[in-house]
Amino acid sequence: MRATLSFMADALRFRFLLCGFLALTVGVAPAVAQTPKSGSRLSDGAGRPAASAALPDGGAAKADEKPVSDAEALLDALAQAPNAEAAARLEQSILQTWLNSGSDTIDLLMSRATIAMEAKQYPLALEILDSVIEMKPNYAEGWNKRATLYYLIDDYGRSMHDIQMVLSLEPRHFGALSGLGLILQEVGQKAGALAAFRQALSVHPFLGNLQDNIDELVRDVEGNEI
């Protein structure tokens, strides 16, 4: 399952999925709010700050106006992409725009975190990413990469918290939306997963095998409602 979707849009190596489930308007938030069944890997994210506390005041979250403007135009084009080839080109441009932190220090730390994750040095990667987020809390890809890391170590609660932060900063982050869907699907919240996948597909109509996941969930969710 992990290989079928692109979750985090950082470094292109972790084409996994993985932004605010509370910000979704497609019915995902109610599904997330449900109390997980005992024994599920959807932890409560204890020890992590509330999402609202981590967001900068006012419009500071969009201080880097040029990258945001570029990404918005590219995302508009992506939603109307005529074919998979055109979508792939736009996707690469969007990922690169999102990755651009505007800071050589942050870029270096992100590179080191990627290397550590590839080597499965997860404690080191987490330490680096904590520093990235502390230094630049309005940088969505810092949250995104850490969400990926938490997913890889099966800490779904903290991963979803960080996905929420990504979506607060980049509401059309197709990687985070699909990541949210994957987590919800894995913990059995199929209706929420279906809503998240559909939202991701509306942003990126050629995203991996996402339609296969949607078709499967439609049979399970909507088929049971008939």
- In whole angstroms, give the CA distance from residue 175 to residue 48: 22
User: Is 154 part of any domain?
Assistant: yes
pLDDT at 225: 58
Q: What confidence category does residue 224 fall into, taking pLDDT thresholds of 50, 70 and 90?
A: low
- In whole angstroms, give the CA distance from residue 153 to residue 64: 31
The two structure tokens encoding residue 209: 């095998």
Domain that holds residue 104: 21-31+63-225
**Which CATH number do you get for residue 202?**
1.25.40.10
Mean pLDDT across the chain: 77
Least confident of 16-30, 127-141, 177-191: 16-30
User: Is 157 part of any domain?
Assistant: yes
User: Is 103 part of any domain?
Assistant: yes
User: Is 3 part of any domain?
Assistant: no
Q: What average pLDDT score do residues 135-154 get?
A: 98
Structurally, the chain folds into a number of domains equal to 1
End-to-end C-alpha distance for the chain, whole angstroms: 28
**Position 141 pLDDT exceeds 80:** yes
pTM: 0.72
User: Is 198 part of any domain?
Assistant: yes
Closest CA to 70 of 102, 106, 107, 103: 102
Check: CB of residue 47 under 8 Å from CB of residue 198: no
Check: CB of residue 87 under 8 Å from CB of residue 60: no
Tokens 């979750």 belong to residue: 7
User: Is 51 part of any domain?
Assistant: no
User: Is 211 part of any domain?
Assistant: yes
User: Is 95 part of any domain?
Assistant: yes
pLDDT at 223: 74
**Position 220 pLDDT exceeds 60:** yes
Q: What is the pLDDT of residues 34-90, one digit of tens each?
A: 333 333 354 444 333 333 223 233 333 343 444 445 899 999 999 999 999 999 999
